[in-house]
Amino acid sequence: MYKTIKNSRYLLIVLKGTLFLILCFLFYKQISKITREQIASISIELPILFVTAILLVIPNQWFEFLKWKSIVTSFSSITHKDELIKSYFAGNITGFVTPNLLGNFIGRMYFFERKYRPKIIVLTFLANGSQFLASIYFGLISITFLGFKPLDIPTFSPLFLIIFMVITLFLYFNFEKVLNRFKFLKRIIIHLMNNFKIRFNFLLFSILRYLIFSIQYFLLLCSLGIEIDIKLIPIIWSIYFWSTLTPSLWFGKIVIRESISIWILSQYIENTGIILISSILLWFINQGVPAMIGFPFLKRIKQ
C-alpha cells in the first residue's frame, strides 16, 4: 500500500515536471518572437493607472489577510495581533516556494500551539479552495459569453454555468457530509463542522480579491499603452482560468501565467512585449513583494 502511494507520488511529480518543461519550451518559443524594438517601445504612458495598479496590492493582501484572520478567530481570540501579522507574512513566503501557493499554512501554523495546527491546515486548504472556485467561476463566465478564441471554443448556454455553480457551491458548503462516509477522514471532518460563516467569508473575500487582481492586470496593460477597453477584463478572467487549471512547481505561477497570457492576449494585442512585462510586474507586486516581506519571519519558524 505504502509502495503504491509512493510510486503514485513519483509519477505525479514526473508528470508535473514534464508539463512544466513543455510550458517552459512554449514560453521560450513565444518570447523569442518578441523583438528588441517591441521591448524598447514600451513605456509608462499613463502613470496614474500604473501607480493605481501597484497600490491595489494593499486591498489584495488585505482580503487574503482577512481569510487568515477568520481561521485564527475560529479557534482562538486574538490577543496577540503581532503574531497574527507575522504568521500571515511567514505563510506568504512558504506559499511562494510551494506549488500553486498551497504551502502557505506551513509558515503560519508554527506560530500557534500544536493542538491548533490540524485545524489551521484544514481551514487553510478550504480558504485556498475558495480562491480556486472564484477563478473557475469567473473563467467560465468569460467563456460562456465570449467563447475562447485561441481554441475556437464558441459561447455556450448559461444554463450549464448555473448548474455547475449550484452543484459546486452545494458541495463547498456541505462536502463534509459526503466525506463523513470515510472513517479515516473523521478528524478532518471535525474541523469542518458548523462553519458556514467562515466558508461564506472565504468565498466573499476570494471573489473580492479576484476582482482586484483582475483590475490590476487590466490597469498595467492600459498604463503601458494598450487601448482602454473594458472587454479586456473577461479576457483576463480566461487567463486566470487556464493558469489555475495548470499545475505549477514553485514561485506561484511564474512562466505558466506568462505563457498563457501571451497565448491568449496575443490574439488581441499586437505588442506581446507589453503582455510579458505586465504579467511579470503583476507577479512581482502581488507575490514577490509579500514573500520578501515575510522572509524575516522565517527565523521564528527555524527557532
pLDDT in tens, 170-188: 988 887 776 666 665 666 6
**CA torsion, ordered 90, 96, 98, 102, to nearest 10 deg:** 70
pLDDT of residue 79: 56
273: cell is 512585449
Q: Are 202 and 70 in contact (CB under 8 A)?
A: yes
- Res. 3 pLDDT band, cuts 50 70 90: very low
Asked if the model's pLDDT at residue 2 lies above 80, the reply is: no
CA pair distance 88, 30, nearest whole angstrom: 36
253: pLDDT strictly greater than 80? no
Kindly report whether the global pTM for this prediction surpasses the value 0.85: no
More confident residue, 98 or 74: 74
pLDDT value of residue 5: 45
Sequence-separated contacts (24+) of 69-73 with Cβ below 8 Å: 70/127, 70/198, 70/201, 70/202, 70/205, 71/119, 71/120, 71/123, 71/124, 71/127, 71/198, 72/112
CA distance 107 to 127: 15
Lowest mean pLDDT, pick from 121-125, 183-187, 264-268, 288-292: 183-187
Which tens digits make up the pLDDT trace of 212-250?
Answer: 999 999 999 999 989 888 989 999 999 999 888 876 655
Between helix 232-245 and helix 117-146 the angle, nearest 10°, is 130
> What is the rounded average pLDDT of the residues 71-92?
77
Q: What is the pLDDT of residues 33-74, one digit of tens each?
A: 666 777 777 888 999 999 999 999 999 999 999 999 988 888
Return mean pLDDT, the chain: 79
Give residue 190's pLDDT band: very low, low, confident or very high (50, 70, 90).
low
For the chain, give the percent of residues with pLDDT over 90: 26
Cell numbers linked to 302 = 527555524
